[in-house]
Structure 1
Amino acid sequence: MRYHLVIPHSIWPDADLQTQMISDLKLPALGQMLGRGRRMPARPQSWHDWLAERFEVPGLPAAPLTLGMDHPDAEPGYWLRADPVHLHVGRDQLSLQDGHSFPISQADADGLVRALNGLFQEDGFHFVAATPQHWYLRVPQDPQLVCAPVDVVNGRNIDPFLPKGPDALNWHRALNEIQMLFYTHPVNDAREARGEPAISSVWLWGGGTWPLAHPPVLPASRILTNDVLVQALGIAARTRFDALPARVQDLPAQDAMIVLDALGTELIANDPQGWRNAWQQLEAEWFAPLLADLKAGRIDSLAFSLPETGLAVEVDPGMRWKFWQGARLPWQL
């Protein structure tokens, strides 16, 4: 029995802050397995690029993928994610806060989307608030935009990540119009009166044609995950996926890919201490029990993939005899 553990978002975007957070971080079970395991070929990749490669979906068009979960009756055509965000005004920049990190009701989402559809009706744009946090935009044709995923931009200055392409300036103007529309909208007046962050704009990303021309190719016969994008890939491949169990003891007794997405949750919340705590929780609830199972022979082997660090390691029970190989953490390899 072989488990493949995939751990995205293992790098904090601010390198100096990460150095402080990991300086005294103790992860003995993970360190032992990574230090004594066999390194496999890998290179640093973003989470989205890693998924695109493993599931054989070029460009990883998140919008049509998640439409299959959020709005499966959507009209065919070219769709973008147009997710609600808060823009924090700094001294010389605007930084983005992902809509998953603050409350949004469906009523608020619907109210703002109605205003968007009124503003852009003549352009042939159609916005849909499929869920409070997942908004979509259907456009008449492929805009040939290069867009950064919202989780990559979260907590950062938006300027380097604004959409790029032959018509980029017109899209930048459209985003400015959206910001002005939202600034004076009654939905945001009510939100601010309740002490909630204003929904300042939308973030465009993940464009592609719905429905997908080709289904994803599954890299494992069974996948356990709470990651929405991985779940969407499973649905697009017309296969069953399982939610991540709370305990190692509840894992299936068969080969499986296990996506541990706790670090991404804290990254979206822009909570560095929460990210550090998530590592400690993974150590206690996953790495230590799995190491015990490996040493007891209840597992034949473990594989680790940490996309952003470019790390892939295979571990088997024979690792216990490699005393000369010391513990190593992901940032030391």
Structure 2
Amino acid sequence: MIRLVIPSLFEPHMLQVLDGTCKQQHELLQQGLKKADQQAWTGDSVYAWHYSVADELRYATPYMLQADSIPTNAQQYSLRADPVILEATHNGIVCRGNAILHLDISERSEIETLLNEHFSEQGLHFQLQSPSHGYVQSDKLTQATFKPLPEVLGQDISHYLPSGDDGRYWQQVLMEIQMLLHRADCNERRREVGEKTIDGLWLWGNQELPSTQPKPVAADNFYTNHKELAQIYNSQLSAKDIPDIDVLLGQQGTTEILIAQLEEACIQNDITTWQSQFSQIFTSYLQPALAAVASGKIKRLELVSEHVSYVLKPWHRWRFWL
């Protein structure tokens, strides 16, 4: 039995804008699932646990640091520091995320140097780990509440600024970052060629780890490219990379695969990446899996997304009334 777990596979606002090949592929997927048993899913896999502690898990900075192979220090306070576009609108200053920024390594290095020189006396150290995210580590513990970037996207940031005893300090840090970036050479170059500028860093994350213990993996074989989950379930992973479908079809017992790319694209509201990733997932896993059920190579296929489970078996093809 193979269980494919793909969060955000049927995300409504993504499906509304499908076009071209991607739209055709999603229609083929829906046609392939037409004869499947469909039910609300409350199964016992990692996916269920993942969503039962979703906010704690997704926003726990220690897990994020471990997933990026960055050493943690109990004496430091760590936060995500993600590049963002800030857009002035009639609704205020709206956060647009960073899906279209595509910071190259030289830009990230320039921003790191700029911010670290400015904030070094305050005990803050910035590191831009990738084009889409980075971290700031503070030598001082802090008493402040930070709003997660996924909740802020498309919203007026004035309602989501840091709060708590040290909230005003971190609001000042955000403002200084914006002023520094406005004058940064990398943004001057972007303006010259008409590209979107890096307008700020959004600071967020929970210092505390989730209190709930991870649910044991119920499958004989388990794979995921969800970085934080892979870190948590490291000892139970069958491999660090999801293998090709031919390898999965040859395995004995129950195989569970949790594919995370679509969820990550949804969090960023990145329609282009979502469509590109869906097309790749469809070609590499979904289409071959549906064909394997039809031929009898898979005796049971489960497809799970948005707490809905589709169960497809070879004999379902005889359901002519569907």
- The interval holding the TM-score normalised by the smaller chain is 0.7 to 0.9
C-alpha deviation, 1:239, in angstroms = 4.8
- Kept in 2, the 8 Å contact 1:33–1:319? The answer is no
Structure 1 Cα separation of the partners of residues 102 and 275 of structure 2: 24
Distance (Å, rounded) in 2 between the aligned partners of 1:311 and 1:302: 14
- 1:76-115 → structure 2 map (5 Å cutoff): 76=74, 77-99=76-98, 101-115=100-114
1:253 aligns with 2:250: yes
Secondary structure (helix, strand or coil) at the match of 2:33 reads: helix
Q: Partners in 2 of 1:39 and 1:166 — Cα distance?
A: 43
Aligned to 2:148: 148
Q: 1:315 aligns with which of 302, 312, 316?
A: 312
Maintained 8 Å contact 1:78/1:208: yes
For residues 123-162 of structure 1, the aligned pairs below 5 Å read: 123-139=122-138, 140-150=140-150, 153-154=152-153, 156-159=154-157, 162=160
Q: 1:18 to 1:69 in 2, by over 3 A?
A: closer
Pairwise mapping of residues 22-33 of structure 1 onto structure 2 (< 5 A)?
27-33=27-33
| Amino acid of the structure 2 residue aligned with 1:70 | D
Q: Compared with structure 1, are the counterparts of its residues 69 and 292 closer, same or farther at alpha carbon in structure 2 (3 Å cutoff)?
A: same
Residue 185 of structure 2 corresponds to which residue in structure 1? 186
- The structure-2 alpha-carbon separation of the partners of 1:190 and 1:125, relative to structure 1 and needing over 3 Å to count, comes to same
TM-score, normalised via structure 1 length:
0.72
Query: Which amino acid in 1 is paired with 2:143?
Result: P
1:269 deviation in Å? 7.0
Deviation at 1:185, TM superposition (A): 2.1
Q: CA RMSD in A?
A: 3.9
1:262-286 per-residue CA deviation (whole Å, 9 max, x = no partner) reads 5346547755466456555544443
Per the TM alignment, residue 290 of structure 1 is displaced from its structure 2 partner at its CA by 1.1
Aligned position for 1:304? 303
Quote the offset at 1:5 in angstroms. 1.1
Q: Which amino acid aligns with 1:184?
A: R
Give 5+ residue unaligned stretches, structure 2. Answer: none
TM-fit CA distance, 1:183: 0.8
Partner of 1:145, secondary structure, is coil
**Aligned partners of 1:274 and 1:182: how far apart in 2?**
26
Q: Distance in 2 between matches of 1:295 and 1:110?
A: 51
**Which of 1 and 2 has higher RCO (CA within 8 Å, sep 6+)?**
1
Q: Deviation at 1:206?
A: 2.7
1:1-333 correspondence runs (5 A): 2-10=1-9, 12=11, 15=13, 18-19=15-16, 21=18, 27-33=27-33, 35-42=35-42, 51=50, 53=52, 58-76=56-74, 77-99=76-98, 101-139=100-138, 140-150=140-150, 153-154=152-153, 156-159=154-157, 162-163=160-161, 165-167=163-165, 168-193=167-192, 195-209=194-208, 216-217=214-215, 219=217, 220-235=219-234, 239=237, 241-245=239-243, 247-251=244-248, 253-254=250-251, 255-264=254-263, 267=266, 270=269, 272=271, 275-276=274-275, 279=278, 282-307=281-306, 310-324=307-321, 326=322
**Per-residue displacement from partner, 1:64-106 (whole Å, max 9, x unpaired)?**
2231243433433432111122223344443434445433233
Contact 2:36-2:310 within 8 A present in 1 as well: no
What is the TM-score with the length of structure 2 in the denominator? 0.74
Stretch of structure 1 that moved more, 115-124 or 80-89: 115-124
The verdict on how the C-alpha distance between 1:187 and 1:32 changes in structure 2, with shifts beyond 3 A counting, is closer
Deviation at 1:163, TM superposition (A): 4.4
Task: For 1:218 and 1:163, locate their aligned partners in 2 and report how far apart those are by CA, in whole Å.
Answer: 37
